[in-house]
């Protein structure tokens, strides 16, 4: 029996989930040597060649082909309802997969449509539901924290002291975690990047007393490992990374490191970051719809990167996440959009 294998994971969820939920009812393929015909029974697989123990499902469903149509890319490149049937959010997302229609518009494709399922392996739908639930939760959580452009402007206008500037802009322009901001020294900056080290000696109160760090795998908190007292380490292994400097972060650190060597001279510990930010919040609370917390500012940075077409993988690297799913949910939520075309980190100040 002929088979069709799927592997795509656009923003609405992986294709196997979308097929089972009947959101995706067609696929666009390059013409086959032995073309499928209407009435053929086919097996739909999820990543057919990947070993079964390395993926959530193998056989997605068995079904009958109801339509096979030869089309040119330009005929469907700008069609939103077509894009939805194919599993994409809209035609913009579809074009990211198929390329610029100006260039590739005359490529040949076959649109294959299927009818209701003849067979779905037991348990598949349950796994799909669980997957979607986890995805919705992750999106809700992400969205909860992140300030919108108007709020960013309000918060920045409320900055009154150098310490406040350091706490707000220091996270907003770099995506730092609190601990990273506090432990930053002048020598982290080199060759156009901020290099977060994997460990440094530190005798601050928190590093002397915090003896554990969390270890996560695939987004699951798996254990706490012991870290030596008197050493600072990023929260996760992936936290040691290079963050590209932008015009704003360069300006901020030029200003600060002119008279200082370490952030700790002005902001002694992670709690002081928190309380400084909370003090600002107390002055403008009635103008904000989101809670003002350090992680919300970090989220703004991530959302801006997502908007300007940073791939999930790059985003994961820059943010120091050890889980690609976090990056994928940011990309799904915040971008890339046509509106954000040409947007830069610098537009923080002008949003
Ligand atoms: Zn420390």
100 CB neighbour count, 10 Å cutoff: 11
Q: What are phi and psi of 113, to 5 degrees?
A: -115, 140
| Residue ranges, CATH 1.10.443.10, the chain | 146-189+241-348
| Residue ranges, CATH 2.30.130.30, the chain | 3-140
- The pTM assigned to this predicted structure is 0.64
Instruction: Give distance in angstroms: CA of 183 to centre of ligand 1.
Output: 6
Please give the distance of CA 24 from its chain centroid, rounded to a whole number.
23
Decide if pLDDT at 63 tops 90: yes
Q: Contact 219/241 with Cβ under 8 angstroms?
A: no
Instruction: Give distance in angstroms: CA of 283 to centre of ligand 1.
Output: 29
pLDDT in tens, 324-350: 888 888 888 887 755 554 445 555 554
Decide if pLDDT at 54 tops 50: yes
Please give the Cα distance from 194 to 174 (Å, whole number). Answer: 9
Instruction: Give distance in angstroms: CA of 64 to centre of ligand 1.
Output: 62
> Mean per-residue pLDDT for 59-73?
96
Decide if pLDDT at 71 tops 80: yes
Please give the Cα distance from 165 to 332 (Å, whole number). Answer: 31
pLDDT of the residue at 2: 93
| Yes or no: domain 146-189+241-348 corresponds to CATH 3.10.180.10 | no
Instruction: Give distance in angstroms: CA of 256 to centre of ligand 1.
Output: 19
What is the share, in percent, of the chain residues with pLDDT greater than 90? 60
C-alpha angle 64-65-67 in degrees, rounded to nearest 5: 150
Considering only CA atoms, which of 148, 152, 131 is closest in space to residue 333? Answer: 148
pLDDT of the residue at 178: 93
Length of the chain, in residues: 351
pLDDT of the residue at 307: 85
What is the share, in percent, of the chain residues with pLDDT greater than 70? 90
- Give the fold, CATH level 3, of 3-140: 2.30.130
Residues forming beta bridges with residue 4, ordered by sequence position: 44
Q: Contact 21/129 with Cβ under 8 angstroms?
A: no
């Amino acid at each position: 029996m002929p088979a069709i294998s799927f592997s795509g994971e656009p923003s609405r969820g992986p294709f196997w989930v979308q097929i089972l939920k009947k959101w995706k009812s067609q696929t666009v393929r390059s013409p086959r040597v032995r073309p499928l015909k209407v009435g053929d029974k086919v097996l739909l697989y999820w990543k057919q060649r990947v070993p079964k123990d390395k993926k959530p499902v193998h056989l997605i469903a068995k079904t009958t082909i109801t339509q096979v149509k030869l089309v040119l890319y330009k005929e469907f490149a700008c069609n939103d309802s077509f894009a939805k049937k194919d599993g994409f959010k809209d035609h913009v997302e579809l074009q990211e997969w198929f390329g610029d229609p100006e260039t590739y518009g005359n490529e040949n494709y076959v649109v294959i449509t299927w009818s209701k399922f003849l067979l779905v392996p037991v348990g598949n739908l349950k796994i799909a539901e669980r997957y979607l639930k986890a995805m919705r939760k992750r999106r809700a959580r992400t969205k909860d924290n992140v300030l919108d452009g108007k709020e960013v402007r309000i918060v920045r206008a409320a900055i009154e002291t150098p310490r406040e500037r350091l706490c707000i802009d220091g996270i907003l322009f770099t995506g730092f975690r609190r601990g990273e901001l506090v432990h930053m020294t002048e020598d982290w900056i080199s060759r156009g990047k901020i290099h977060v080290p994997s460990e440094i000696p530190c005798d601050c109160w928190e590093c002397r007393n915090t003896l554990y760090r969390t270890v996560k795998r695939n987004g699951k908190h798996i254990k706490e490992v012991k870290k030596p007292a008197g050493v600072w380490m990023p929260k996760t292994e992936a936290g040691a990374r290079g963050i590209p400097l932008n015009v704003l972060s360069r300006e901020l650190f030029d200003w600060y490191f002119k008279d200082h060597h370490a952030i700790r001279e002005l902001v002694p510990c992670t709690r002081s970051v928190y309380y400084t930010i909370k003090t600002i919040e107390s002055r403008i609370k009635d103008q904000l719809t989101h809670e003002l917390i350090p992680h919300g500012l970090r989220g703004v940075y991530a959302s801006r990167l997502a908007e300007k077409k940073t791939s999930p993988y790059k985003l994961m690297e820059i943010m120091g996440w050890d889980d690609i799913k976090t990056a994928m949910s940011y990309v799904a939520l915040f971008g890339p959009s046509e509106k954000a075309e040409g947007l830069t980190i610098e537009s923080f100040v002008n949003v």
